[in-house]
Structure 1
């Protein structure tokens, strides 16, 4: 055997040992993943059964204690849901009140620009400029017009 052939043989042997030594930890890793997968599948199945019980299904084989625990869990969940709902309603009422205050302020501001009281009634006659409208009715001759006014 030549020197090159010996080197190739040693390389092949080394390469084979290297992969054999390295494959063992890989197999352990794969086995660990398989065990973890089995554990997860079991947990998922238990959660699905528990969920069905909470939804009122598959209760035929439940003991009285289990049924009481399920009822307690449902009551706690219902309390949490109702509390959240009440909080959302409170927040919405506060938003609507704030919007109402904004609209009221805007109405007051706009009424001031138009010259009205915020209630929608005109301002007293002394507070704004008088309009040039004459409301007196007169019957008779007006020399400046040279006509007779009759109602």
Structure 2
């Protein structure tokens, strides 16, 4: 049995070596993946910090370290952004005005229709063609002429 015991020990030893080699080989790609993620995280943190610094400068903060050229670039960027914001705002106002004008036309048409149903004339419109003719529109400047 001494031979069997030695054979079992050799088998266990080979298994242990195989197991160690297998797991070490498998752990390298995982370590490389983790290292890649760490590098990517560091890069992202640096980018976020740069964006925060740039954002603070655009908001007028921490400008003491800026050169005249950098300040001019910031001012130009702010002016471009302001132009874009104002253009968008003007478009929204224009769209809203058009909607309100359309609503006004709808309400006027509805008013005319309702007045027609009840037999009234809408305010501001003459009731007959006679009224149109009786209205004087001559403008006279100066002293009135005497009648003889």
Judge same fold: TM > 0.5, yes or no. Answer: yes
Unaligned runs of 5+ in 2: 129-148
1:94 has 2:84 as partner: no
Counterparts of 1:51-70 in structure 2, within 5 Å, are 51-70=55-74
- Structure 1 CA distance, aligned partners of 2:119 and 2:94? 37
- Structure 2 CA distance, aligned partners of 1:28 and 1:4? 36
Of structures 1 and 2, the larger Rg is shown by: 1
Counterparts of 1:2-151 in structure 2, within 5 Å, are 8-119=12-123
| Residues 116, 122 of structure 1: 8 Å contact kept | no
Shift in alpha-carbon separation, 1:98–1:19, aligned structure 2, 3 A: same
Root-mean-square deviation (CA, aligned residues, Å) is 2.3
* Residues 25-63 of structure 1 deviation map (CA, whole Å, 9 limit, x = unaligned): 111111111111111111111111111111111111111
Unaligned runs of 5+ in 1: 125-151
How many aligned positions are there?
124
Higher helix share: 2
Normalization by structure 2: what TM-score?
0.74
* Residues 102-141 of structure 1 deviation map (CA, whole Å, 9 limit, x = unaligned): 11111111111111123377967xxxxxxxxxxxxxxxxx
- Structure 2 CA distance, aligned partners of 1:35 and 1:122? 82
Normalization by structure 1: what TM-score?
0.73
